[in-house]
Structure 1
Amino acid sequence: MGGLKHFTYLGGITLTIWLALAFAAPGVKAQSFDISLEFPPGEDINAPGRTGGGGQRGQACVSGKIKLTALTPTNNLTTTISPHPSLFWYVPPTQAQSADFLLLNEDGDEVYYTRIPLQQSPSIVELKLPDHISLATEKRYLWTFALVCNTDDRSKDHFVRGLIQRQPMHNGITSPTKLQFLLDALANESAWIKPRLQEEASTYAKEAIWAETLMILARLYQQFPQDSAIADEMQELLTSVELSEIPVECLVDSCSVKTEAADETEDVEAMRQLKDSTL
């Protein structure tokens, strides 16, 4: 339960009680829909909200009309078929120079921790879980993404939480390995890869698999930022999960922050400070 202590200063209810409620909830089921990139609604699973809170002991280190927001479905459960998927957050203008990410399993044990550098302007942060982290299928994990507003007083952190669950593979879904091959080939073989990936995104959306749906559209938008069809598909997806206010232009390199395979052992001192502040 060491990892659970790291973020006990966050939120109004104890994680122990919340974990028991959230992980006991029934799974999300795919539903049919008419619009190609409209993501089907999932069941209410008592997950925390997708928008940021915190800074209870002083003014939060964020500004702007749009709050810190997890790019997740309306029920804040990110479904995936990958053992190490990508997660996305919209970060408003902030004085924080970094954010902490913590992933816990159903027992509240730490699975992964890393610190992510931030920019002060609005951005969309993407974190890909490193290859040595392998999510178990049909298990739920709790993540916390916290803006480090004051390194000396972590109670001022601005944060958001959510759940992620890896789904088992089934017929009709492209495997993570094959999907990555298509994504890697996008830059050089766009003529046929582009429409194929658009079809893949639609298929994942129909199956209510969020992480892959969003990642595919993010890669397409980053590769073709002037393509109105891609932009419309991204907007359609975000609108379907009530995130229409998120500026999709922040997915391009000029205002995106992408972190991959970070070494959690590099922030030992930061972890010690987190522990000390919550004991």
Structure 2
Amino acid sequence: MPLLHNVCSSLVVVGSLIASLLATPAQAQIEFRADPQARLPEEYRQRRQEPNYAGCPCGCNRPRLMALIPESTPALTVSTHPEFFISVPAASEISHPPKAEVWGEFWVSHADTQHLIYFIRLPMPEQATVLRLRLPADLPGLDIDKDYEWGFNLNCDEEYRTGVYGIVRRVAFPADIEALGEQATPHERATHYANAGIWVEAIATLAQARQNAPDDLEILNDWRSLLQSAALGPVAEQPLLYEYILEE
């Protein structure tokens, strides 16, 4: 009966392993909690999804632009040079006149004066993706408690342009997050940022974690739960994450 004994022993080991996995508590989902004090001034505009225009500039049958930002509050950040995330269609999905060029435009300005502090023209990616845009380190940093407007335009012709835009606001670094130290996991950091209503670092932390470990299912689930909590669920399923290092 040695064969039967070995099979039974293997089944016991497998059963114990399954029981151990089932007994392991699931990692808590990350939920963004907007800071109720961080209100969007009425005079400032924010549009995180490209509207359905009559006539469909740049094509009717393509995914619409989507800025990955909170729905009705500024995107808070603790960084002097924050990151920005935009869901964009593939270049091949964008309709344009024959021989016309297709490109994107990213810009940042002072919200109160509309004074432009950064602008760059970018090629559109070959696949639908989430663009990760990082401001150049040698650019003057954002001031604390000041609002900045930013946006991304899609140009499919010199005459046709559509886009999304939002408000980013730098705030002081919360002491409890600073106390986490370098040993904190991406899940722990993103959770603390999300709980504090600091959107930019919450999403940027998970974006970097996804880039470092693209096959990690826990990180992917964190990414999904964060975006779903901000009503950005459909964007969470985009498989690629491109990164553009912007230059001044």
- State the TM-score bracket (shorter-chain normalisation): 0.7 to 0.9
| Aligned-pair CA distance for 1:168 | 1.4
- Give the conservation status (yes or no) of the 8 Å contact 1:205–1:213: yes
> What RMSD, in angstroms, separates the aligned Cα atoms of the two structures?
2.5
Moved more, 231-240 or 114-123: 114-123
Match in the other structure for 2:206: 217
Task: Provide the rounded CA distance (Å) in 1 between the counterparts of 2:193 and 2:83.
Answer: 15
- Give the conservation status (yes or no) of the 8 Å contact 1:221–1:251: no
Match in the other structure for 1:185: none
Task: Provide the rounded CA distance (Å) in 1 between the counterparts of 2:244 and 2:151.
Answer: 16
Task: Provide the rounded CA distance (Å) in 2 between the counterparts of 1:165 and 1:99.
Answer: 23
Cα deviation digits, residues 222-243 of structure 1 (max 9, x gap): 2222222111111110110000
| Aligned-pair CA distance for 1:251 | 3.7
Match in the other structure for 2:34: 41
Match in the other structure for 2:146: 139
Task: Provide the rounded CA distance (Å) in 1 between the counterparts of 2:246 and 2:74.
Answer: 22
Match in the other structure for 2:24: none
Identity percentage of aligned residues: 25
Cα deviation digits, residues 206-252 of structure 1 (max 9, x gap): 11111110011111122222222111111110110000011444344
Question: Cα 1:235–1:104, aligned 2, differ >3 Å: closer, same or farther?
Answer: same
Structure 1: any 5+ residue segments left out of the alignment? 1-34, 183-192, 264-279
Cα deviation digits, residues 168-200 of structure 1 (max 9, x gap): 12312239xx99xx6xxxxxxxxxx6x622211
- Give the conservation status (yes or no) of the 8 Å contact 1:42–1:75: no
Task: Provide the rounded CA distance (Å) in 1 between the counterparts of 2:155 and 2:169.
Answer: 26
Task: Provide the rounded CA distance (Å) in 2 between the counterparts of 1:249 and 1:59.
Answer: 23
Task: Provide the rounded CA distance (Å) in 2 between the counterparts of 1:77 and 1:167.
Answer: 11
Match in the other structure for 1:163: 167
Helix, strand or coil at the partner of 1:59: coil
2:103 aligned with 1:98: yes
Match in the other structure for 1:60: 57
| Aligned-pair CA distance for 1:41 | 3.4
| Aligned-pair CA distance for 1:147 | 0.8
Helix, strand or coil at the partner of 1:101: strand
Match in the other structure for 2:79: 82
- Give the conservation status (yes or no) of the 8 Å contact 2:106–2:151: yes
Helix, strand or coil at the partner of 2:201: helix
Cα deviation digits, residues 46-81 of structure 1 (max 9, x gap): 54221014866x532245564210011122521100
Match in the other structure for 1:260: 245
For residues 264-279 of structure 1, what are the structure 2 equivalents within 5 Å? Answer: none
Task: Provide the rounded CA distance (Å) in 1 between the counterparts of 2:63 and 2:231.
Answer: 13
- Give the conservation status (yes or no) of the 8 Å contact 2:148–2:168: yes
**TM-score of the pair, normalised by structure 2:** 0.74
Bigger Rg, structure 1 or 2: 2
Task: Provide the rounded CA distance (Å) in 2 between the counterparts of 1:249 and 1:159.
Answer: 19
| Aligned-pair CA distance for 1:138 | 0.2
For residues 110-189 of structure 1, what are the structure 2 equivalents within 5 Å? Answer: 110-131=116-137, 132-150=139-157, 152-153=158-159, 156-174=160-178
Question: Cα 1:202–1:247, aligned 2, differ >3 Å: closer, same or farther?
Answer: closer
Task: Provide the rounded CA distance (Å) in 2 between the counterparts of 1:41 and 1:65.
Answer: 30
Match in the other structure for 2:114: 108
Task: Provide the rounded CA distance (Å) in 2 between the counterparts of 1:104 and 1:143.
Answer: 6
- Give the conservation status (yes or no) of the 8 Å contact 1:99–1:145: yes
2:74 aligned with 1:69: no
Moved more, 135-144 or 99-108: 99-108
